[in-house]
Amino acid sequence: MPNYNPPIRDMQFVLHELFNVVDDLKTMPRHSEIDVETINAVLEEGGKFAKEIAFPLNMVGDKEGCKLDPVSHEVTAPTGFKKAYAQFVEAGWPALSSDPEYGGQGLPLVVNQCFYEMLNSANQAWTMYPGLTHGAHAALHAHGTPEQKNMYLPKLISGEWTGTMCLTESHCGTDLGLMRTKAEAQADGTYRITGNKIFISAGEHDLAGNIIHLVLARLSDAPPGIKGISLFVVPKFLVNPDGSLGERNGIYCGGLEHKMGINGSATCQMVLENAVGTMVGQPNKGMAAMFVMMNAARLGVGNQSLGLTEVAYQNALAYAKDRIQMRSLSGPKAKDKPADPIIVHADVRKMLLTAKAYAEGGRALAVFSSILLEKEHYHPDAKVRQESGEMLSFLTPIVKAFLTDNGWTATSSCLQVFGGHGFIKEWGMEQYVRDARINMIYEGTNTIQSLDLLGRKVLGNNGATLKKFGKLVAQLIEQEGVNEDMAEFINPIAYLGDKMTKFTTEIGFKGFQNPDEVGAAAVDYLRVAGHLVMGYFWARMAQVALREIANGNTDPFYAAKLQTARFYFARLFPETASLMLTARTGSKNLMDTDLALA
């Protein structure tokens, strides 16, 4: 059986020592009274919920999965899931960072981010039920009518109801311009919606009293393609004017997907037959509203893999300290035992440190992104709001793709630490690998995120936002460039930052001549950009650790942070050199291959 201990100390380091998050938050009127003690207290309690309530159900959910009644179309979640959700609601967790106007607690989004990291470590499948609700809340809050907000937001915020996003159809996947679901306008202002959706996480379950689906569909006179899509809110049960539940709506689960992982999460095939819905936003402008939800979900998916990276690392580390096998190449270390613990072996340490470096670096990136999201929505200065939104838009595909790629690498490495035992279910490690694999696929595959980053977020604005991030790197280099103790952290990002402009310009020039050049380079490019971003945060973490040590702080936490930073820059960051080489080989060796792929 695996174990999990919430990484509260490292979260506190990132929040309070690396980013001084309270100072940033206090610039926003809604958070003027926030303090370190409140944030820490919430995280402590959140960690207890994750460890004591959600975590014990993780293997249960994986083993049992969900069950569909083919007659009633009702889905039953695994044993214990419904009770845990009731405890979640009773404790007020769904309302943590939501708008107080509709019953939320109004705490910072970054606190919710850290809480959900712990929930994802504890039980990613269970966490998807409340997790999707945040995206539905965000879309309705940004684009819903006053009537829709008053009808749905209080119950979504309280957790009495949950939300979904219904986008995908079997024939089109991410190419939503091909969707066929139809919406017919009615005399009373509602719409009748008919179609089929697949891969709908938490599309049907028994945890909450109602499920609020946000559904993409086409009006009868809609233009073709992506410009002809509208967004509708379609509740499982119709809602009466007084807020009580009415009759069952024409949306139901026609089947459950049989999956590789996240078995405790109900992934549904949803059927809409004359379902009643109301439009969110303007006709044929549904993607603008849905992107609010999709971007929130993409940040959430990165957070899922961050959580899995952390819990896999914790268990692999504990196993490596306990498992004895062979002797150290440099001589026996545990002389009182017949063999040494496997943590003495260099490659075992490499695998453990890979997971640790990606967890701690990913945590810094995720927290930084959450701070940007808070500023984009709530900062009083319009310029800060705009610049924060631009930077977050640049970082979102990196959070989603880079952290989920790293999560796959990390969980696989941690399974490898266990050797043959890692392949056996009772140790729990193979579940983390299976669960992590979906995160690279949904909410836009990582290739799509790479195309978004390179094509839209970088080349689309001539590298303006990339240059803004480059200024952050340059400021750190200027600040620490003459500090010999920081050289091993500063020199790599300075070198890559210098090369990044030429690398980007070269690919952009080729792309203008042949668009396939962008497609051929995009995945490699995102990983290079990901390392530039993560390298910047690792350098800043090393900066803090060195400062504390210089001030006489003997807490081993800081020495450990430096050791991990050194490993990251020595063993993981150099991947960027080979990635730039392969990206520069162009599209011909991929596209001129008709015979090879015949």
Alpha carbons 253 and 75: distance in angstroms, whole number: 8
Q: Which amino acid is present at 134?
A: H
Q: Which amino acid is present at 352?
A: L
Smallest CA-to-CA distance from 138 within 296, 369, 375 is with 296
b/e for 219-228, b at 16 or more Cβ within 10 A?
beebeeeeeb
Q: Residue 12 sits in which domain range?
A: 8-143
Judge if 459 and 572 occupy the same domain: yes
CATH code of the domain covering residue 183: 2.40.110.20
Q: What are phi and psi of 197, to 5 degrees?
A: -125, 150
| Residue at 371 is within a domain | no
Asked if 382 contacts 285 with a C-beta cutoff of 8 angstroms, the reply is no
Q: What are phi and psi of 409, to 5 degrees?
A: -60, -45
Judge if 258 and 167 occupy the same domain: yes
Alpha carbons 294 and 268: distance in angstroms, whole number: 18
Domain end (from 111, 143, 175):
143
Judge if 139 and 181 occupy the same domain: no
Judge if 178 and 249 occupy the same domain: yes
Within 13-167, residue ranges assigned H as helices are 21-25, 36-49, 58-64, 81-90, 109-143, 146-158
CATH code of the domain covering residue 20: 1.10.540.10
Ranges of the chain whose pLDDT falls below 70: 173, 176-177
Asked if 246 contacts 254 with a C-beta cutoff of 8 angstroms, the reply is no
**DSSP conformation letters of 140-188:** HHHH--HHHHHHHHHHHHHTSEEEEEE---TTTTT-GGG---EEEE-TT
Smallest CA-to-CA distance from 128 within 197, 200, 73, 180 is with 200
Judge if 108 and 195 occupy the same domain: no
**DSSP conformation letters of 559-586:** HHHHHHHHHIIIIITTHHHHHHHHHHT-
> What is the crossing angle of helices 556-567 and 516-550, to 10°?
150
Judge if 87 and 172 occupy the same domain: no
| Residue at 314 is within a domain | no
Smallest CA-to-CA distance from 441 within 253, 304, 239 is with 304
| Residue at 388 is within a domain | no
Asked if 289 contacts 230 with a C-beta cutoff of 8 angstroms, the reply is no
Q: How far is CA 413 from CA 62, 316, 398, in A?
A: 21, 9, 21
Alpha carbons 311 and 54: distance in angstroms, whole number: 13
Judge if 182 and 129 occupy the same domain: no
Torsion sign over Cα 95, 237, 53, 408: negative
Tokens of 61: 């959910």
Query: Virtual CA dihedral for 102, 47, 299, 139, nearest 10 degrees?
Result: -10
| Residue at 472 is within a domain | yes
Residue 443 falls in the annotated catalytic set: yes
Give pLDDT, residue 494.
97
In sequence order, the β-bridge partners of residue 267 are 201
Judge if 107 and 174 occupy the same domain: no
| Residue at 151 is within a domain | no
Catalytic residue among 443, 480, 517, 548: 443
Ramachandran area for residue 589 (φ above 0: left; ψ -120 to 50: alpha; else beta):
alpha
Q: What are phi and psi of 553, to 5 degrees?
A: -75, 120
Q: Which amino acid is present at 135?
A: G
Three-state DSSP state, 191: strand
Alpha carbons 57 and 98: distance in angstroms, whole number: 26
Smallest CA-to-CA distance from 363 within 3, 17, 1 is with 17
**DSSP conformation letters of 324-385:** B-S--TTS-S-TTSSS-BGGGSHHHHHHHHHHHHHHHHHHHHHHHHHHHHHHHHH-S-HHHH
Q: What does the angle CA 241 – CA 245 – CA 248 come to, to the nearest 5 degrees?
A: 120
Smallest CA-to-CA distance from 422 within 486, 371, 351, 474 is with 351
Give pLDDT, residue 291.
76
Judge if 136 and 210 occupy the same domain: no
Q: Over the stretch 469-505, which tens digit does the pLDDT of each residue have?
A: 999 999 999 999 899 999 999 999 999 999 999 999 9
Q: Report the Cα–Cα distance between both ends of the chain, in Å, rounded.
A: 47
Quick one: how far is CA 580 from the chain centroid? 26
Place of tokens 């650790």: 545
| Residue at 473 is within a domain | yes
Smallest CA-to-CA distance from 498 within 461, 535, 523 is with 535
Domain count, the chain: 3
Tokens of 363: 């945590």
Judge if 104 and 169 occupy the same domain: no
| Residue at 546 is within a domain | yes
Domain end (from 257, 290, 323):
290
Alpha carbons 355 and 408: distance in angstroms, whole number: 10
Judge if 459 and 588 occupy the same domain: yes
The conformation of residue 455, written as its DSSP 8-state character, comes to I
In this structure, the strands spanning 230-235 and 161-166 are: unpaired
Alpha carbons 51 and 339: distance in angstroms, whole number: 33
Alpha carbons 157 and 222: distance in angstroms, whole number: 33
Torsion sign over Cα 427, 53, 68, 135: negative
Q: Which amino acid is present at 346?
A: A
Domain end (from 234, 269, 290):
290
Question: Three-state SS string across 394-429, please?
Answer: HHHHHHHHHHHHHHHHHHHHHHHHCHHHHHCHHHCH
Alpha carbons 30 and 107: distance in angstroms, whole number: 9
In sequence order, the β-bridge partners of residue 195 are 272
Judge if 484 and 563 occupy the same domain: yes
| Residue at 517 is within a domain | yes
Q: What are phi and psi of 270, to 5 degrees?
A: -100, 130
